[in-house]
Amino acid sequence: MSKSLAMLKVLICVSIFCISTTATAQWDIAKNVTVYRLPNGMTWLLVRRPTPNIFAGAIAVKVGGIEETPPHIGLAHMFEHMAFKGTHEIGTTDYNKEAPLLKKIQVVGDDWVKTANPESLKQLQDLQKQASQYQRSNDLFTLLSRSGARDINAFTSKDLTQYHSVMPANQLGLWLYLYAGMVNDPILREFYSERNVVQEERRMRVENSPQGKAYETLLLTAYSTSPYRYTTIGTAEQIGSLSVGDATAFHQKFYHPDRMYGALVGDVNIAQAKAYINKYFASMPGTRSPKDNFPKEPVQTETRRATVHVNSAPFLMMAFHKPRVGSDADYVFDVIDYTLCQGATSRLQKKLVTDEKIAQNISCASGIPGNRLDNLYYIEAYPIKGHSTKELEERIMAELQALRDTGITDKELKIARNNLASNFLWEMQSNDDLAELLVDYQAITGDWRYVLTHASHIEAIGNSDVKKVAQTYLVPTNLTVVTAE
């Protein structure tokens, strides 16, 4: 399962206590998760925890970058921004007067995007100015904050979009009302000005970032047909091609209850929560979403290479194709990842960073850039001055050869098992982390119980499994390398 590079720095624990504690935590979670499904297809996971007067809420919508097709890359991410612009009732002083202007903005804006007509741009700017007199920017965010919410945030990945925050328990009804509006009744206010914000976000994360430029090149090089080929944010040209009409059509096509998963964790009265959920979410139309139909990536048969020129110290990114989450190989990659790269005593860290001192830093991740489809095992490495990216790549490949030849030791396997179990426990400690974890796994794997069964899958892995997976996937013909220099 994918883990961000930050998440892979969680607490390291290798004692038997970790396993027994995890088993207890799993039993408690299994006992206390109430699954509540609405007739329209939306699924809720309700968890009452002894955390007085506070709860965490999260909604994951199974709509990410993989639902997009060129040139409309970036629409899923735009909705992360648009969701906070309000509804028919929030974010406006008079929606009856605002609505006709918004309709004109859509028509004129769509024309401007297609034609780049200067007159259309001028008309669009005039309409936006007129509409602004009826708009209250950040109204929804302000309502949440004034009601005691914290950690108000959202993110978009290639797999899904998630909205979440922490709220006082006595504001449960308000939370559900506001978030129902975010996913079901978004008004696309300030779309083009927000599109400019996204362009600036891209400049910061990609164009002005050596790592961002290299990563974008890595995906384009590693993939030829998969929707994982493009970054979630899109290119500058793709962002600039997005219109209100495109966004409206995208929302109508994909934002359906059967793609939505909610979680409430903490001081939650289950009966009351169900009543509020029915009040604010049951009325959403139960229209079924289109079935997933993604192009299958052809098997890679030779090493692929690309070079990007950056104003920074040199580094390299390496990626190997691997199966999606839930496959037998994906569980094995969790063990391989821990053995190779996680912690000071892991193979790449100890040998190349500590002992041989040819690398100043090496990071790895399994499940890049997403988990709904077959994905990548990823290695990012920075040579120490006086050593080249070529030398570092050769040493990494030598370590992978050793993995293919002999696998891992019993001690390494035990450490990986214990630490992977403790990592899951760590991720479930807080209400907000657990809420986000539950909706993500429910959306991506189809069953939140992935958090309960992961440890048993890892426990069943042996050295022969590690060798087999390494021999199948961690090979030169399955490798993509991007060198930044």
Residues 226 and 324 in one domain: no
pLDDT at 290: 87
One domain, residues 178 and 46 = yes
CA distances from 478 to 302, 321, 332, 377 (A): 6, 6, 17, 11
Same domain, 255 and 184: yes
- The total of structural domains in the chain comes to 2
Q: CA 126 to CA 190: how far, in whole Å?
A: 13
Could you tell me if 222 and 305 lie in one domain? no
Q: Residue 155 in 3-state DSSP?
A: strand
Give the domain-ending residue among 229, 253, 281: 281
| Any domain includes 10 | no
Residue 403 lies in a domain: yes
The answer to whether residues 62 and 160 touch, using CB atoms and an 8 Å cutoff, is yes
Distance CA(481)–CA(374), nearest Å, equals 18
Name the residue range of residue 429's domain. Answer: 299-484
Query: Residues 403, 373: one domain?
Result: yes
364: enclosing H helix or E strand: strand 359-368
E strands, 369-416, are 375-383
| Residue 113 lies inside a defined structural domain of this protein | no
In this prediction, residue 422 carries a pLDDT of 84
Beta bridge partners of 321: 376
pLDDT in the model for residue 1: 55
- The answer to whether position 147 is within a domain reads yes
346 plus 467 within the same structural domain: yes
CA angle 330, 478, 409 (to 5 degrees): 50
- Residue written as tokens 């997403």? 370
Q: Is the same domain home to 314 and 237?
A: no
Q: Which residue has the tokens 């970054």?
A: 231
Same domain? For 266 and 181 the reply is: yes
Q: Looking at 226, 246, 281, which one is the last position of a domain?
A: 281
Q: Helix or strand or coil: residue 223?
A: coil
Tokens linked to 227 = 């929707």
Mean pLDDT, each 10-residue run in order, the chain (485 residues): 36 27 53 96 95 96 96 94 95 98 97 95 97 95 97 97 98 98 96 96 95 98 97 95 95 96 98 98 90 94 97 97 97 97 94 97 97 98 97 98 97 94 82 96 96 92 98 99 97
CA atoms of 253 and 289, how far apart (whole Å): 7
Residue after which a domain boundary falls, among 227, 249, 281 = 281
Is 270 found in the same domain as 316? no
- The reply to whether 403 and 445 lie within a common domain is yes
Q: Is residue 324 part of a domain?
A: yes
Supply angle C-alpha 123, 125, 126, rounded to 5.
Answer: 65
Residues in CB range of 163: below 8 A, 6 or more apart: 58, 59, 61, 80, 83, 153, 154, 179, 182, 183
Asked if residue 471 and residue 339 are part of one domain, the reply reads yes
Which pLDDT value is given to residue 30? Answer: 81
**5 in a domain, yes or no?**
no
**Count of positions (residues) in the chain:** 485
**Which residues 6+ apart lie within 8 Å of 399 measured at CB?**
340, 347, 348, 351, 352
pTM (two decimals): 0.91
CATH of the domain at 305: 3.30.830.10
112 is a domain residue: no
Q: Judge whether 210 lies within some domain.
A: yes
Bridge-based pairing state of the strands 304-308 and 359-368: unpaired
Same domain, 356 and 475: yes
Task: Round to whole Å and give the CA distance between 30 and 166.
Answer: 22
